[in-house]
A and B are shown apart, each in its own frame.
Chain A
Amino acid sequence: MSNVLIVAEHGAGAIRKATLHALAAGQEIARRTGGQVHAALLGKGLGPLAADLAAYGVEVHVADAPVLERPLAEAFAPVLADLAKAIGATHVGAAATAFGKDVLPRVAARLEAGMATEVLGFGGDGANVTFRRPMWAGNVLAEVEIATAVKVFTVRTTEFAPAQRAAAPGAVHAVAVSIDPAALRTRHAGFREVKSERPELTEARVVVAGGRGTKGDFAPIEALADALGAAVGASRAAVDAGWVPNDWQVGQTGKVVAPELYVAAGISGAIQHLAGMKGSKVIVAVNKDPDAPIFQFADYGLVADLFQALPALTAKVKAEK
């Protein structure tokens, strides 16, 4: 059997949306290899989450143990590698989130597998499924083959529509966990959540982003975002300056977004920023420099001071509602 194992993520008592995109990628591989999609759910006190996941028609393997309360790569990797072996998985994947990128390479190392990060799509059939992935900040697309028996990957969530609930739920199996907590050499010592009432950056229909041009004042960015029900993003320059949370960075080394509308204000359009937003359907740039590189990519460019243009646009949006 050439089964596909997708590693699920959860938070705040729900399966993360990113996982639904990864499940869809898993389903596509399964169609190409004739295998079945399984999902791994690890944590402590998972309760109804297993059924939530099984509703997508995949077989769910639940490892529920105190030692798995936090997603520590050192603890998760052996559980996932053993599970992959037990179900005869030929493909092991997850969403290319911070979690997926942290844990999956360790699973790959355990399975003596090669791995592809941020996969955008697949080609070929059977054991020869190939992976399409970006390199050099998305300036290059590579088609890669993984030469090992087991193939590990993470997928870019914006490239796969989320999986849909199935008519019949999958079976749920319990996984025995034999990790000795005392043997772990990683200890979780805190998490500072960046709380937000706004939609998740990677899922939002509209993103309004600000850069160094805001000079640290994100109020006009946030006001427009709130008028549009949008998420807020930022360039590296704005995050590095400590103006906004790290979690807001869009780009090669931050988040990759592909909303219907991306508004970039006071952002010059460096290649590393473009890598994170050029998949957006419509790009609007507001920049006071008519020669800013961003105008070469924006569908609509407005040469203006963002401190005047954004409040005017916000007022217009509110007036037209």
Chain B
Amino acid sequence: MALKILVTAKRVEDPESKIRVRPDGAGIVTEGVNYKLNPFDEIAVEEALRLKERHGGEVVVVSIGVDKSQTELRAALAMGADRAILVRHDGPLDPAVVSAMLQKIVEAEKPDLVLMGKQSIDDDQNQAGQYLAERLRWPQATFASKEASLESEAEQKKDPGVVLGADGRSLTVVREVDGGVETLVLALPAVVTTDLRLNKPRFASLPGIMKAKKKPLQELAAAALGVDLAPKVVVKRLSEPPARKGGVKVADVEELWKKLHEEAKAL
């Protein structure tokens, strides 16, 4: 019943960083910006580890990007993943290309499950998992969540939110959708993308960080995968949206009402 799980790990700007567009509009200012593992991918790693702890198996993390993406892979290894693959690529990508590359990795690794973030917090495209599932003709469950809250006992006990069937060949996933919560049962192999409320990722322990340094990290060049690397979505220009100006502070509810009623005519 052991599961082999492939998890994607993208290096992104820290969500706490202030993002500014370069004057030439060709990119963002990277000086002073910190990088980290995409928060949704952190949740994917956590979920994979919980499944492994419950059922046994192997957790392989893969990142596509610059050499420095090793840092994010080591972070995932420090959390407990078994080994890592870095597909070295320096240049623009898009989910169509990323998913074509991941398809090659999946064909080589043959995992039972691919766990991915629902979106990268840099490009916010929310596509790569779905593209990959279609390329593989696998079932998918996007926006995986769970019914129990992040403050619940189940979460304290680190129960997996996605549930492996007794036969070991199916997965029950609760999804956050419009107007409610949906439950899907997928036949494995499958692609699952994570939403924020699937779990609270663990912090790497000091021994975990030490061990991670010795875990295998395989590197390969993007070109070696034999897929067309030309982006299908080409960013022409970046700009900053008009800033919203702060307004005034009001003294009390009476003044607030007056402003909303007479000045803003919102009430």
The answer to the question of A164 belonging to the interface, with a C-beta cut-off of 8 Å to chain B, is: no
Q: Mark A172-190, 1 if CB is under 8 A from B, else 0.
A: 0000000000001111111
Q: Which of B151, B185, B239, B256 has the most CB of A within 10 A?
A: B256
B122 touches A302 (CB 8 A): no
Query: Given A140-B239, A240-B150, A252-B121, A317–B246 Cβ distance below 8 Å?
Result: no
- Chain A interface size, under 10 / 10 to 19 / 20 to 34 / 35 or more: 35 or more
B250 touches A301 (CB 8 A): yes
A130 to B239 alpha-carbon distance, docked (Å): 15
Within 8 A of A (CB), among B217-246: 230-241, 244, 246
Task: Chain B residues near A77: list those with CB within 8 A.
Answer: 134
B124 touches A241 (CB 8 A): no
Q: Which of B51-59, B63-71, B92-100, B207-215 participates in binding chain A?
A: B92-100
A186 to B257 alpha-carbon distance, docked (Å): 52
Task: Chain A residues near B232: list those with CB within 8 A.
Answer: 113-115, 146-148
Within 8 A of B (CB), among A294-308: 295-304
Query: Given A98-B178, A189-B184, A316-B253, A117–B266 Cβ distance below 8 Å?
Result: no
Cross-chain contact of B96 among A114, A143, A145, A241 (Cβ < 8 A): A114
21 interchain pairs, CB-CB under 8 A: A73-B140, A98-B142, A98-B178, A109-B131, A109-B134, A130-B236, A140-B239, A142-B237, A143-B237, A145-B233, A147-B234, A188-B183, A190-B182, A206-B266, A252-B121, A252-B124, A253-B196, A271-B15, A282-B260, A316-B253, A317-B257
Residue of A nearest to B232 (CB): A114
Contacts A106-B140, A147-B230, A239-B197 known; 13 new A-B pairs at CB < 8 A:
A72-B184, A73-B142, A98-B176, A115-B125, A137-B124, A142-B239, A186-B141, A192-B147, A194-B181, A240-B196, A246-B181, A261-B266, A281-B266
Task: Chain B residues near A138: list those with CB within 8 A.
Answer: 241
A118 to B125 alpha-carbon distance, docked (Å): 8
A296 touches B246 (CB 8 A): yes
The answer to the question of A108 belonging to the interface, with a C-beta cut-off of 8 Å to chain B, is: yes
B151 touches A261 (CB 8 A): no
B183 touches A253 (CB 8 A): no
Number of interface residues of B (CB under 8 A): 86
Q: How far is the CB of B56 from chain A (nearest CB, A)?
A: 23
A103 to B130 alpha-carbon distance, docked (Å): 8
Tell me the B residues contacting A by CB distance below 8 Å.
Answer: 13, 15, 18-19, 21, 28, 94-96, 99, 118-119, 121-131, 133-135, 138-143, 145, 147-152, 172, 175-187, 190, 195-197, 230-241, 244, 246-250, 252-254, 256-257, 259-261, 264, 266-267
Q: Which of B139, B140, B179, B249 has the most CB of A within 10 A?
A: B179
B140 touches A74 (CB 8 A): yes
Query: Given A143-B236, A147-B231, A240-B150, A106–B125 Cβ distance below 8 Å?
Result: no
Task: Chain A residues near B253: list those with CB within 8 A.
Answer: 302, 304, 309, 312-313, 316
A263 to B19 alpha-carbon distance, docked (Å): 26
Residue of A nearest to B119 (CB): A253
A105 to B122 alpha-carbon distance, docked (Å): 18
B244 touches A297 (CB 8 A): yes
Query: Given A109-B135, A189-B172, A246–B260 Cβ distance below 8 Å?
Result: no
- Helix, strand, loop or mixed for chain B's interface? mixed
A146 to B241 alpha-carbon distance, docked (Å): 22
Q: How far is the CB of B183 from chain A (nearest CB, A)?
A: 4
A109 to B121 alpha-carbon distance, docked (Å): 22
Query: Given A77-B134, A137-B15, A295-B246, A115–B186 Cβ distance below 8 Å?
Result: no
- Helix, strand, loop or mixed for chain A's interface? mixed
A105 touches B247 (CB 8 A): no
Cross-chain contact of A118 among B124, B182, B241, B267 (Cβ < 8 A): B124
Q: How far is the CB of B106 from chain A (nearest CB, A)?
A: 14
A103 to B140 alpha-carbon distance, docked (Å): 10
Task: Chain B residues near A118: list those with CB within 8 A.
Answer: 124
Q: Which of B15, B19, B149, B180 has the most CB of A within 10 A?
A: B180
B233 touches A116 (CB 8 A): yes
Residue of A nearest to B100 (CB): A109
Task: Chain A residues near B147: list those with CB within 8 A.
Answer: 192
B28 touches A140 (CB 8 A): yes
A110 to B127 alpha-carbon distance, docked (Å): 13
The answer to the question of A101 belonging to the interface, with a C-beta cut-off of 8 Å to chain B, is: yes
Query: Given A246-B145, A300-B260, A186–B126 Cβ distance below 8 Å?
Result: no
Cross-chain contact of B179 among A11, A143, A241 (Cβ < 8 A): A11
Q: Mark A123-162, 1 if CB is under 8 A from B, else 0.
A: 0000000100011111111111111100000000000000
Q: Mark A66-105, 1 if CB is under 8 A from B, else 0.
A: 0000001110010000000000000000000111011111
A118 to B124 alpha-carbon distance, docked (Å): 9
Task: Chain A residues near B152: list those with CB within 8 A.
Answer: 242
For the complex of A and B, list the 4 residue pairs with the smallest distance between their C-beta atoms, beginning with the closest: A242-B149, A114-B232, A105-B130, A109-B134
A299 touches B264 (CB 8 A): yes
Cross-chain contact of A316 among B138, B231, B257 (Cβ < 8 A): B257
Q: How far is the CB of B163 from chain A (nearest CB, A)?
A: 11
